[in-house]
């Protein structure tokens, strides 16, 4: 009986829209490690210090401020690319820029030009962030509130497959060819996104933007600001307890995100080879993440967002403690497989819960701007705080680092219970507004 209920719930995954979400998720996910963990290992091989590697987290700052240009994607069509539609045109533009920036990274030797590499990585992040603005809006506009969990799960599945491509595949290639050649091959990943965009329809929201009114350029600029920037922000802050919601968005995933820049250096410090890291953390681990993401989508659909977020917060903290055990086990593949499996399973579930939640907060009239604004709050804290992770490891130890990281799961859990009482977990259509 229970199995039958779960199977009925799982039918949502057989909607043909899910195939599009899979491709778009891949397109969104594959650049992340190329400017994150994979790049960190390249820098480690180039004998760059842990302090500098930690500072590379700052190149992800554009993810935190993408809301600044997100109104453009809500209101404007690009020249040339606009012929494909508003959302699709912006997606194709950002994917083209992403290819060029990754190829530029491939032409640099970080041992001689580490700050040039930092700049090019930041450019790739800008292109990736712009793509994320569009694809997140595309996903939210394709599904009803009840379908957001499943849509988020499939999108994240594609995202994680992108991780495997730029993580495990990149590491395996790095064992036989140079890092520069690896990044040339990695740039081809954007082709998946381009194909997905070309073979999908522009979402129909019924909220197509009207031409910007005004007799003079100054009047048009003012009206654009009022309709594209001020209006979506004003709409969001009309929501009761919006400040608490913003705080929650900033801290919910802090436990996972803080340790991310140090994951590759940690595996290297434990004595694991590139091949071992690839097979265990990038392939085996990603499978666990994918299972967690898909399961998370079903949990949201069956039990609702409140119970899901509580479960996700508890799992994030509990599984991070496994890395403390890994520090004592050292170079032990069995312990690493268990640690990565549990951590990635929890991470996949909590990410699905989180994405479904912030998707439900958006007014479809301003999807790109509001989703970008909310996700930027999370990435801002992630990037600013995680830039200190290398210094924390050097100051204390790996054990203390992971214990401190575990404690970062508590603020989000406490805020869930507060918002449950005050209505902060309700979707946009049900929420009370001022």
Q: How far apart are CA 79 and CA 69, in angstroms?
A: 17
| Res 216: pLDDT | 63
> Among 1-10, 18-27, 74-83, 231-240, which is the least confidently predicted range?
1-10
Section 316-326 average pLDDT: 88
From residue 119, give the alpha-carbon distance in Å to each of 6, 147, 313, 405: 47, 39, 34, 28
Mean per-residue pLDDT, 6-20: 66
Segment among 17-21, 183-187, 238-242, 378-382 with least mean pLDDT: 378-382
List the single range of 21-35, 95-109, 382-396 with lowest mean pLDDT: 382-396
Predicted pLDDT of residue 206:
47
User: By the 8 A CB rule, do 166 and 31 touch?
Assistant: yes
Q: What is the predicted pLDDT for the residue at 128? A: 92
Residues 6+ apart with CB under 8 A from 385: 254, 257, 258
- Residue 392 in this model has a pLDDT that exceeds 80: yes
Topology, domain 16-426: Growth Hormone; Chain: A; (1.20.1250)
Query: In whole angstroms, what is the distance from residue 30 CA to residue 136 CA?
Result: 15
Q: What digits encode the pLDDT tens for the residues 68-109?
A: 788 888 777 888 887 888 788 888 999 999 999 999 999 999
Residue 226: what pLDDT?
62
Encoded tokens for 127: 């292109």
Contacting residues for 252 by C-beta, under 8 A, at least 6 apart: 309, 312, 313, 350, 354, 378, 412, 415
Tokens of 125: 């992040």
- Residue 61 CB contacts under 8 Å (≥ 6 apart), including other chains: 122, 125, 380, 383
- Give CA–CA dist 381/379, Å, rounded: 6
Is 321 within 8 Å of 400 (Cβ atoms)?
no
274 or 98, which is more confident: 98
Q: Helices in 107-187 by DSSP H: which ranges? A: 114-142, 148-164, 170-174, 179-186
Q: Report which of residues 286 and 392 the model is more confident about.
A: 392
- Mean pLDDT over 282-289 rounds to 78
The pLDDT-based confidence of 366 (bands split at 50, 70, 90) is confident
| Percent of residues, the chain, with pLDDT higher than 90 | 10
Residues contacting 45, CB < 8 A, separation 6+: 174, 179
- For the stretch 241-259, pLDDT in tens is 888 888 898 888 888 888 8
- Per-residue burial over 149-174, b if 16 or more Cβ lie within 10 Å, else e, is bbbbbbbbbbbbbbbbbbbbbbbbbb
The encoded tokens of residue 157 equal 């599945």
pTM of the model: 0.72
Beta bridge pairs of residue 433? 239
pLDDT at 120: 93
Mean pLDDT of 392-410: 88
Q: Say whether 240 sits in a helix, a strand or coil.
A: coil
What are the residue boundaries of the structural domains of the chain, listed by start?
16-426
Residue 125's pLDDT is 93
Confidence of residue 12 (pLDDT cuts 50, 70, 90): low
pLDDT at residue 220, rounded to an integer = 59
Whole-number pLDDT of residue 181: 92
Task: For residue 266, give the nearest of 111, 54, 409, 34 by alpha carbon.
Answer: 54
C-alpha span between 189 and 95 (Å, rounded):
10
240: left (phi over 0), alpha (psi -120 to 50) or beta: beta
What percentage of the chain has pLDDT greater than the value 70? 87
Residue 52, pLDDT > 70, answer: yes
Residues 7-25, mean pLDDT to the nearest whole number: 72
| Banded model confidence at residue 269, pLDDT cuts 50, 70, 90 | confident
pLDDT of 117 above 70: yes
CA distances from 314 to 102, 255, 293, 410, 411 (A): 37, 11, 16, 8, 11
The per-residue pLDDT for range 120-132, each reduced to its tens digit, is 999 999 999 999 8
pLDDT tens figures, 170-215: 888 988 999 999 999 998 888 888 888 888 777 766 455 555 555 6
What is the per-residue burial (b if ≥16 Cβ within 10 Å, else e) of 280-304?
A: bbbbbbbbbbbbbbbbbbbbbbeee
Mean pLDDT computed over 4-21: 67
Mean pLDDT of 53-81: 80
pLDDT band at 433 (very low <50, low <70, confident <90, very high): low
pLDDT tens, position by position, 132-157:
888 888 888 777 766 777 777 888 88
Q: Token pair 């392939």 is at which residue?
A: 283
């Amino acid at each position: 009986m229970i199995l039958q209920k779960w199977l009925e719930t799982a039918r949502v995954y057989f909607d043909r829209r899910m195939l599009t979400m899979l491709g778009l998720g891949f397109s969104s996910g594959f650049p992340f490690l190329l400017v994150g963990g994979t790049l960190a290992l390249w820098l480690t091989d180039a004998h760059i210090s842990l302090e500098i590697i930690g500072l590379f987290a700052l190149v992800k700052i554009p993810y935190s401020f993408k809301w600044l240009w997100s109104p453009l994607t809500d209101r404007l069509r690009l020249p040339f690319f606009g012929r494909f539609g508003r959302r699709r045109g912006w997606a194709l533009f950002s994917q083209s820029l992403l290819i060029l920036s990754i190829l530029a990274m491939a032409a640099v030797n970080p041992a001689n030009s580490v700050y040039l590499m930092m700049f090019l990585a930041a450019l790739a992040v800008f292109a990736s962030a712009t793509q994320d603005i569009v694809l997140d809006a595309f996903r939210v506009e394709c599904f009803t509130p009840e379908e957001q969990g499943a849509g988020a799960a499939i999108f994240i599945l594609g995202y994680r497959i992108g991780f495997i491509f730029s993580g495990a595949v990149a590491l395996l290639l790095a064992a036989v060819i140079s890092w520069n050649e690896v990044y040339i091959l990695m740039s081809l990943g954007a082709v998946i996104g381009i194909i997905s965009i070309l073979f999908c329809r522009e979402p129909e929201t019924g909220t197509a933007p009207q031409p910007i009114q005004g007799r003079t350029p100054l009047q048009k600029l003012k009206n654009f600001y009022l309709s594209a920037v001020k209006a979506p922000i004003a709409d969001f802050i009309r929501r009761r307890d919006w400040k608490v919601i913003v705080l929650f968005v900033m801290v919910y995933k802090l436990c996972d995100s803080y340790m991310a820049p140090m994951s590759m250096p940690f595996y290297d410090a434990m004595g694991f080879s590139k091949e071992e890291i690839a097979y265990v953390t990038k392939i085996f681990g990603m499978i666990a993440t994918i299972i967690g993401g898909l399961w998370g989508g079903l949990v949201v659909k069956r039990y609702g967002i409140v119970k899901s977020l509580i479960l996700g917060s508890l799992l994030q903290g509990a599984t991070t403690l496994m890395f403390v055990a890994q520090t004592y086990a050292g170079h032990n593949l069995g312990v690493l497989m268990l640690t990565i499996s549990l951590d990635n399973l929890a991470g996949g579930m909590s990410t699905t819960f989180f994405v479904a939640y912030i998707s439900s907060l958006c007014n479809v009239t301003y999807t790109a701007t509001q989703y970008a604004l909310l996700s930027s709050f999370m990435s801002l804290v992630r990037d600013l705080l995680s830039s200190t992770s290398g210094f924390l490891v050097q100051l204390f130890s790996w054990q203390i680092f992971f214990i401190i990281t575990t404690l970062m799961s508590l603020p989000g859990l406490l805020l869930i219970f507060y918002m449950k009482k005050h209505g902060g977990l309700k979707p946009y259509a049900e929420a009370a507004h001022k």
